[in-house]
Amino acid sequence: MDRKNATFLLLYVLLICYGSLYPFTGWRVPTGDPLALFLSPLKEHLSRPDLVTNLLAYLPLGYLAMMLLTGEGREGKEGIALFAAGFLGCLLSASMEFLQLFLPSRVSSVIDLALNGFGSCLGACLARWRQGKTGALQGLHRWRDLWFMPGWRGNGGLAVAGLWALSQLAPFVPSLDVGSVRAGLRPLWHTLRDPGSFRLAETAVYCCSIAAAAGAVLLAAKRRWPVLGRYTLFVAAVLFLKIFMTSRQLSLEAVTGSAAALAALPLLAVLPRSALSAVAGAAALAAFTCDELRATTGHFIGLRSFNWIPFLSQMMRPLTGFISILEGVWPFFTLAYLAQAAEFRTPRYAALWGAGAVTVLTFALEWCQLGIPGRYPDVTQVALSLAGWSAAYLAAGRETLRG
């Protein structure tokens, strides 16, 4: 467990360093006192995207650090671990903010430091809350143990559903403003008034995605039939909450695709385990392939060249970047979990061959986007697919889903 958490933490630290110091060129000594510049609030650069981005970017860091520092044999030291996790986030953020003073293309601010530190502390608190066994969380643990299999088999299926929900609700900025709610319902209203604008490809993406997540949840469940109703309510709640999330919208395609997938749940529930894994895996692949090859409806309808710089688009638009990262990781985390549930006798080789297969497949689909107007072929998706696949196997560790 410690090795797994340490690996995740190290990789995330490297990702933060990459995103904070890109493009790594143009280094120069700043004019004026570096310490004074570092402590300058620079309020003119403060905006809602900055607030959310800096908060969310360091939340996983604090979470992973807390999980690492409170492993086996460290009971009773949660307070020290909580402080250490928050301090690690503040130290890393201070280092990145200070180094950004020497990069003319980056803007350093003590406000970013405060938000990053708060995000780290919040992530550590979430990890501490997850580890607790008292209060409301005790009831959540009892609910999980009642309906889902123990260990990674249950946790992995729940993680698949959770990642899908996060990909739909990111960037997690709710708004009850009437204008925002109207914007969230605009695609639904527009398609109802103009049925000719209905996009079948988007409907297929939603249908296959929800079916794939349902397959993972059913594989994780102790009793499939009672879980079906709860999964239906879960999907409905996620789609409803999309209306109130900044920059997210509910479309008729989402409602139609979700309804079609939920109507097929009884058919999935009667499948044996191996067949359910195969069907859900095929649905996940179909959802990703259809999403990669469908035409866009944006203002830009020309052809773009291939982007070879990882996470370039996410760094240029951080708030929407969280959405694309989650949407890029989710299908392959799901595929890896379903592959583990398919009773492979050599899970290590399945992981290696699968990693190569998803890398080749994703690169091929991204390359095909060179001929699709409005699409943005990007090597980042290749990295995200490999990250999603690898994360599921790293999270499983030595635990298998056979038997």
176 CB contacts (<8 Å, ≥6 apart)? 244
Within a 10 A sphere around the Cβ of 91, how many other Cβ atoms? 12
Q: Are 45 and 107 in contact, with CB atoms under 8 Å apart?
A: yes
Q: Is the dihedral of CA 288, 294, 295, 297 positive or negative?
A: negative
Query: What is the longest distance spanned by two Cα atoms in the chain?
Result: 70
The answer to whether residues 12 and 68 touch, using CB atoms and an 8 Å cutoff, is no
Q: For residue 266, is the peptide bond before it cis, meaning its omega torsion is within 30 degrees of 0? A: no
- State pTM to two decimals: 0.85
Strand, helix or coil for residue 148: strand
Look up tokens 């859900």; give the residue.
280
Quick one: residue 245, left, alpha or beta (phi over 0 = left, psi -120 to 50 = alpha)? beta
Task: Return the DSSP state at 222.
Answer: S
Distances (CA, A) of 79 to 70, 71, 75, 121, 399: 10, 13, 10, 12, 30
Ordered per-residue pLDDT tens for the chain, 403 residues: 577 778 888 989 998 998 888 888 878 877 766 665 556 555 454 556 667 777 888 888 998 898 888 865 555 577 788 889 889 999 999 898 888 888 877 777 777 888 888 889 998 888 877 666 455 567 777 888 899 998 888 999 999 999 999 999 987 878 888 888 899 899 999 999 999 889 999 999 999 999 999 999 999 999 999 999 999 999 999 999 999 988 889 999 999 999 999 999 999 999 999 899 999 999 999 999 999 998 876 555 678 899 998 888 877 777 677 788 889 999 999 999 999 887 655 566 788 889 999 999 999 999 999 988 888 899 999 999 999 999 998 888 766 555 4
